[in-house]
Amino acid sequence: MGCLRSKIGLGIFALSALACTEGSNSIPSDFVRLYGDLRIATREFGETSTDGRIARVRILERYGYTAERFDSIAEKIQRSADLWEPFQNAVVEYVDSVAVSAKAIAPQVKNIPAAKPKVAKK
C-alpha cells in the first residue's frame, strides 16, 4: 500500500504512469476515471490520513484493481512517454467534468475558432 501512496503522491509524474494497458498504446477510460477519482480523494482527505487511505482502497476496489495491479500498470506506462500528454489531458477533462457535475466550477468553454466577420453587401 505504501507504493500506491507514493505513486499517488507524485502527482504529475504519476499521471504518466497510467496511460496504457499491457501491450496497448491506448489510454483506457477506466484508468482515467480511476486515477481521477484517486486524485480527488487525495485532495479531499490528504495523502496520509486514515480516511484518505480507506477512500483510495475503496476506489481501487470499485474499479476492480489491487494496489499491485495499479503499480504494475503504472510501471509499464512510465516507460511510454508518448501517452503522457493524452492521459494528462483526459484526466484533467474527467476531473473537470466531475467538478462541473458537483457545481464546484462553471463549465469551461473550449477554444473555438472565431467566426469570420460578415461583410455587408451593398
The CA distance from 34 to 17, in Å, is 12
Please count the helices (runs of H) and the strands (runs of E) in the chain: 6, 0
Residue 66 pLDDT grade (very low, low, confident, very high; cuts 50, 70, 90): very high
Phi, psi of 110 (to 5 degrees): -75, 160
CB 53 within 8 A of CB 108: no
Q: Give the DSSP H/E element, type plus range, for residue 79.
A: none
pLDDT, tens digit (0-9, with 9 covering 90-100), for 96-108: 998 888 776 676 6
pTM beyond 0.75:
no
Residue type, 86: P
